[in-house]
Structures are given as C-alpha cells and as structure tokens.
Chains A and B, each alone.
Chain A
Amino acid sequence: MQMSVTETAEAAVEVGLAGRLDAAGVDEVETRFNAAAIASGRHALVDLTAVEFVSSMGVRMLLTAAKALRSRQRRFLLVVPAGPVREMLETAAIDTLIPMFQARDEALVHLLR
C-alpha cells in the first residue's frame, strides 16, 4: 500500500493511495493516513484512482476519517473512477455519506469553491 501527500491548497490536503486497501493494506497505512488526512486540520481529498481493491476494512478507515473531519467542520472527498472499487463503495452506500467524484479536477473544483 503506497501513500502520497500533497498540499493542494492552504486549506486542503490531497492524499493519494495506491494498491490494495484490504485488512493488510489498512494495517500498513492507517496511522500515516490518519496523520495526513485528519491531524492536518485541513479539508481532505483522498484519491483512490490507483487503488485496485477495497474491502470492508478499507471502508472502515475511510469512514472513520470522514467522521473525524466532519466533527472538525472539515470536508472529506473521494476521487473514485468507474470500476469495481467504485461499484463496491456504491454497494455499501458510501457514496450517500461521502462525496465521491470520478476525477481529481472535479473534486478540486468542489473543494476549493
């Protein structure tokens, strides 16, 4: 599981994940992910474009971060292109809880407006 962090704008941080967000991937990345997405105190845009698989453990990690940011009046957005990962998140109705965008540019416009 790989992770990159970019300071997108003064008020936002962009976290890119790559690989498999399963139980092993979550164990590997969760502490760093929370530090980047939650502890920064900014809005977070999380890009799952390079993530090939998400399980319920991955959903738990994303939901936990989204809830933490919401309690701090910060926004949490996902970039998830069409494919099995997006289908899984829609099956789990995560798209009704966390704003999901097909492309990074689309999410940035929403975040920075």
Chain B
Amino acid sequence: MVNEVPPLRVRVGPGHAALEAARRQVVGHLAQACERGDRSTVYAVELVLEEWLTNVFRHGGGTEVTVEVACDGRQVGLRFTDDGTTFDPTRAPERVAPATLDEAEPGGLGLFLIRRYSRSWRYAREAGRNVMQVEIDCPAA
C-alpha cells in the first residue's frame, strides 16, 4: 500500500447504485491525488474495483466492502476489506484462455483481469475479514 497521499475511504454495499457512487468517488480522488494517472490507469482501477466488488457481493456473500485508495504518483494502491466468506483470490486457479468460441465458457474472467491489470496483489484474512490489496502502475513520467 502506498501512503504518501491520505487514502480515500469508501464503504460500499451491494447494488448497482452503490457501486456506481463508489466508482465516481474513486475516479474523483484519482483526478486530485494521482497526477500521472492517465485514462489507462483509471480504466485499470475501475476494472479492479468492479471485478472485486462484483465478486464479493455475487459470490462471496459479502454485505459491505471498505475500499481505500491512495496514489504516490507512481502507483495507485487499492485495499479492499470485506465481510464475505474466506476467499483468497491469489490461490484461485489460473484461467486457461479458450482456443475456440465453442470452448469459451462465459464467466470466470474477473479474477484473471484483476491479476493482469495489477502490478501486484496480496491477500490476508484479518479479524474475520478478507483483505485484498492491489497495486496498479501509473505511466512512467
């Protein structure tokens, strides 16, 4: 987690409206706190946010996620704490890319995208909660 800028802290419940409100807060924070964050950086942050929150609420039985966002100019740090069932995404099996459309199974792409759009991701179970931390690179100066 990067610490030079005080992190934004947002609590998010299930539902599209709550997720959209959180997304807007996070994007607004990046515009202020992350000078080098370009459109690709924002896309990566939005993607990780959407994929992880959707995963927690749809599959993890979570009812609330606390999202913390910070940027030190070189990286955006995201920290998610949720009350869902224990789930370590870093131990989930790697998605195997389908060779043909017939083999393609819709779904299962969310964790793959988080992994690919992150410089690093870490998981811990702390005080009965899932804590997932992701770092996303800003473009080089």
Contacts and interface: CB of A to CB of B under 8 A. Distances in A.
| Chain A, interface residues (CB within 8 Å), range | 20 to 34
Given A55-B50, A60-B106, A84 B16 contact: no
Nearest to B100: A97
Interface SS of B by simple majority: helix
A7 interface: no
Interface string A1-45: 000000000000000000000111001000000000000000000
A87 interface: yes
Contacts of B109: 56, 59-60, 92
Interface stretch (B38-46, B59-67, B81-89, B128-136): B38-46
A109 interface: no
Contact of B106 (A63, A87, A91): A63
Interface residues of B, number: 26
A60 B43 contact: no
B35 interface: no
Interface of A: 22-24, 27, 53, 55-57, 59-60, 63-64, 66-67, 70, 83-84, 87-88, 91-93, 96-98
Interface of B: 16, 19-20, 39-40, 43, 46-47, 50-51, 54, 97-102, 104, 106-107, 109-110, 112-113, 116-117
9 contacts: A23-B16, A24-B19, A57-B54, A66-B101, A67-B101, A70-B102, A88-B113, A93-B97, A97-B104
